[in-house]
Amino acid sequence: MPVILKLYIRLVDGFNRRVGRFVMYGIFVMMAILLWSSFSKTFMTPSMWTLEMAQFAMVTYYILGGPYSVQMGSNVRMDLFYGEWTLRQRAMVDAMTVFFLIFYLAILIHGAVGSSAYALGHFGVEPYSFYRDLVWAFLTGGKEAANEVLGYIERSPTAWRPVLWPIKLIMLLGFILMLLQAVSELLKDIARIRGVDY
């Protein structure tokens, strides 16, 4: 296997491992939010922010932990035949099926780019040019110039009304990390099929 591909696998796996190990402690954040929700509903005036904040924490936990889960082989598989196969047979099936995952993730990333651009106030049909203009405005004019590119910031329609761009950008980042991990898994499967080390 070429050195550049080994380096890619090492970098992506290492980064996703660190992100996954950090995000796995998000379960305690969710527990604290829900515990506060229960406490405030029982003894005080209920907090409006707890339900949505718990949902945002769960999305972050799930989306950013997904690449680490795939890397560790913790994702759900139909093990009717798979468990009896050799490592090479598994790698051959995984190498074919990962293309479906890559295609699906590409569609998710395209949708997430549009959705996060909408959350930042872009109501046109070209979200990629919006991000290009936003970055260019920030680099050339700073924060004030970038604020001029931003439009009406999307908010949740609930009583709390939090802005939605942070969670949408987290989802976009998670989809990109999952795509990078899927390509890493494909390269590892090809190496297993060929019988070489990675």
Q: What pTM, to 2 d.p., does this model score?
A: 0.90
Burial of residue 12 (CB within 10 Å: 0-12, 13-18, 19+) is buried
**Beta carbons within 10 angstroms of residue 191's beta carbon:** 18
pLDDT at residue 179, rounded to an integer: 98
Q: 41 near 49, Cβ under 8 Å?
A: no
Residue showing tokens 């598989």: 77
Residue 155 dihedral angles phi and psi, to the nearest 5°: -125, 155
pLDDT at residue 171, rounded to an integer: 97
pLDDT at residue 1, rounded to an integer: 84
Task: Parse the chain into domains and list their residue ranges.
Answer: 3-194
> How far is Cα of residue 169 from the mean position of the Cα atoms in its chain?
9
Q: What are residue 155's DSSP bridge partners?
A: 163
Burial of residue 122 (CB within 10 Å: 0-12, 13-18, 19+) is buried
C-alpha atoms less than 13 angstroms from C-alpha of 56 in its C-beta half-sphere: 16
- The string of pLDDT tens digits covering residues 169-184 is 999 999 999 999 999 9
Radius of gyration of the chain (CA): 21
- The string of pLDDT tens digits covering residues 144-167 is 999 888 989 999 998 889 999 999
Distances (CA, A) of 83 to 78, 89, 90, 173: 9, 10, 9, 32
